[in-house]
A and B are shown apart, each in its own frame.
Chain A
Amino acid sequence: MKNPDYLSHPFEPTKDELPPELKYHFALDRRKFLKLTGGGLVVAFVVQDMFSFAGETSSTGSSPDPVSGVGAWIRIGEDGKVTVYTGKVEVGQNIRTSLSQIVAEELMVPVSSVTMIMGDTDLVPYDAGTFGSRTTPQMGTQLRKAAATAREALVEMAAKNWNTPATGLKAENGMILNDAANKKIGYGELTKGQQLLMPISDKVRVIAAKDWKVAGKTVPKIDERTFITGKHVYVSDMKLPGMLYGKVLRAPSYGAKLLEADITKASHIPGVIVVKDGDFIGVAAPDIKTAGKALQAIDAKWDESKGQPSRENIFDWFVKNASGAGGGRNPGNTKGDTERGLSEAEFKHSKTYNIHYIAHVPLEPRAAVAEWTDGKLTVWTGTQRPFGVQEELAAVFKLNKEKVRVLMPDTGSGYGGKHSGEAAIEAARLAQEAKKPVKIVWSREEEFTWAYFRPGGVIEVSAGVNKDGAITAWKFINYNSGGAGLDTQYKVSNQQIAHIPSNTPLRQGSYRGLAATANVFARESHMTDLARLIKMDQLAFRLKNLEDDRFIAVLQTAAKAFGWNGSKTPGHGYGIAGGFEKGGYVGCCAEVMINSDKEVKVVRITQAFDCGAIVNPHHLENQAMGSIIQGLGGALFEAVDFANGKILNSGLSAYRVPRFSDIPKIEIVLIDRKDMPSAGAGEACIVGIAPAIRNAIVDATGIPLNNLPMLPNGVLG
């Protein structure tokens, strides 16, 4: 077996880059869907005309636009219970709850009567994956319309039933009511014996956010009790009858080639299965200890690749190995004459910002359980892209996709770090040989070494500014760290903005907010430096150069709640930063304190967040909080250390993540824009924290910190 190309999904697709293969899934989805309609249901489905073509093998259906291409369906059972099928998955962002709320709202049923079937490729329609903060704006919108379509259909059915015009009828608490005639009928009763396939209507009337009764409110996490009693079964907790425990032999460093391996000793251990297939060597045993012993008994020789860059010289490496102008998925943009803008500016400021690689560290490492039955492969795995993993498995094992079922039980987090199916492939390969189910749970060290990282990068920024605060030129070149958040929202007359890919020595990929964490850091740091150069207040300088009302509002809201104009204690500094990411606007203020030993302490953070109409205020605040705290790690101390193709801090005792004692006082102000569509919440809030802290440090000390992380040892200088 060849190791699959793990880098096939290096960056999150942007809005315009939804996977083009969507239409190939229609025939498959249609079959799945028809399996569901076993009597007594109303089903509303999402993609227009999805089932309208004659032959099942046809793949030439009307090509939906990316938004309506998101599929989900809803079934109303004879018992009146509502089941929603979606390819989105739950990794702790509490979308199981918020999507249920949205459906409950439109169908006028209690949240408790909605069940979500998520991320099971045999049951749910195709979905590209849970990333890019698209669940709420896209899946949420689709489900809202689907549920509203179903509601209208139920009203129509009742009207027919009673032979009365639909106008006098209304839906309430799982029933259709005819108040005038004092009649009511339950959804289940209406749909009994019916088989209805309904295309979702784009014209359907959804309930306006201002009239929401269930959505827009705090509803507790669904199934929370199973989580706090230890009963929820994560993939790493699963045990199937006869299941073996698997382990994989890892190379000593990246790029090492297997020269030879003697597996005789290992294969003689009772109960042990050893698979050697190309570069892949793995073992499976009745218990994990035996699997470990078997792995140790393998004598492997490797040819290690020399001369790989290390953390010390990585930034030079990025620049030297940069290739192609304006590559990547977000090529950036140029307008006016930047060089002239620079030379004519009253003040000029150039800086290079260096960004280290960081790790996602999902607390549950990658895990998978695989089982083969009659040539069909079933894999349970924690992934943000069940259909992506299904495709990986189908390719590796040369199977038709219909022969691969991937299930994704609610998982121990991802943060953009679980888009790939490594553990799934490994478990499947071992299970194939063992003819028994096999479970693989990566060790923390494996997760640190063989998953992927948020890219490191170098960002060069040169800007020109006039005394009055006008930005005359903005040159922003990002090497390697990615295109998300590359563009500036500030008014500039001449600009040159580009992302240039480089040759990364570490496997890199998606992350919360992805490159925006780096790009916003560089941009907002530079903005504060420009303000200082012309002796203008950091906030005033930003406001002077902004046009977007929502951006202005988050900065002003954060500043007001923070007390931006209040008096400062000596040794303390204030910083501000703003960002616009994935449809969400964020304004962040930070206060830091520096003591005589030059230790920096983040005293407090105030963050304002606008992501449109709020679906679940408590869970939204929680997502914002999580982003801020995760951002704190990347801002202050998280960095992957590496040399010669080896990760040097591949454990939680060596790679520091934020803990209780790192958390400052955090205040989150949510701006509920009921007039705006809801945007995703899992990412935007991470981008403002690092620059806000950095700007507070420069405010207090005059020392500009230009690298992420800023304070690996907690002290300045």
Chain B
Amino acid sequence: MVLLVNGVKHEVTVDPDVELLTVLRDYIGLTGSKYGCGEGACGACTVLINGKPTRSCITPVNSVAGKEVTTIEGLEINGKLHAVQEAFLTTDGFQCSYCASGMILSAVALLKNNPSPSEDAIVKAMDGNICRCGTYPYIVKAIQLASKS
């Protein structure tokens, strides 16, 4: 099966029902997307499929064949961070940062749809992402900062 991840084609030999998260991490070596629950309840594994935030832990790999997958590793281009990453860097709000890639990709998707979201809109869009370290207020701040840039 051929996967298009961050603009690069990857040929993988794997059962069609294996979760995308496993394929990204174990087969392609992109470990920026994390496992947190395996049931779509925490957002740590969030990637973009054709721009839409998707929980890769419950997405069978064959369902994304021919679609564009973006992971955290694909946001930085030629050493230049994505504006949302820049905002998170400036805000310096993470603790263990295990939730970071899921948060950032969810934020990228949100801002694409709604470039200047209200605080309520941010909370609503991000509510599926858990930060167990409790850095939520800083994440909201980072998204607000990114929306200004």
Contacts and interface: CB of A to CB of B under 8 A. Distances in A.
A661 B127 contact: yes
The main secondary structure of chain B at its interface with chain A is: loop
A183 interface: no
B130 A630 contact: no
B35 to A, nearest CB: 7
A245 B124 CA distance: 37
Interface in B86-127: 88-89, 92-101, 104, 122-124, 126-127
The main secondary structure of chain A at its interface with chain B is: loop
A532 B71 CA distance: 55
Interface in A620-653: 622-623, 625-630, 651-653
A673 interface: no
A499 to B, nearest CB: 28
A236 B35 contact: yes
Interface in B50-91: 71-73, 75-76, 81, 85, 88-89
Interface residues of B, number: 58
A288 B26 CA distance: 9
A653 B41 contact: yes
A661 B135 CA distance: 13
A328 interface: no
A503 B31 CA distance: 42
Contact of A289 (B18, B71, B123, B136): B18
A92 to B, nearest CB: 3
A625 B134 contact: yes
Contacts, number: 166
Given A92-B97, A239-B29, A657 B130 contact: yes
Interface string A225-250: 10111111110110100000100000
B20 interface: no
A231 B34 CA distance: 12
Interface stretch (A339-347, A359-367, A392-400, A591-599): A359-367
A363 B100 contact: no
A2 interface: no
Contacts of B72: 228-230
A210 interface: no
State the 9 A-B residue pairs at the shortest beta-carbon distance, nearest first.
A230-B32, A92-B96, A629-B134, A412-B98, A92-B95, A230-B72, A237-B31, A227-B97, A413-B96
30 contacts: A92-B95, A92-B96, A92-B98, A93-B95, A227-B94, A227-B97, A228-B89, A228-B97, A245-B26, A288-B26, A289-B15, A289-B22, A362-B132, A364-B34, A364-B98, A412-B97, A413-B133, A622-B93, A623-B95, A625-B134, A625-B135, A626-B95, A626-B133, A629-B136, A651-B39, A652-B36, A653-B41, A658-B134, A659-B129, A661-B124
Interface of A: 91-94, 220-221, 224-225, 227-234, 236-237, 239, 245, 287-289, 361-365, 410-413, 415, 441, 443-444, 618, 622-623, 625-630, 651-653, 657-661, 663, 666
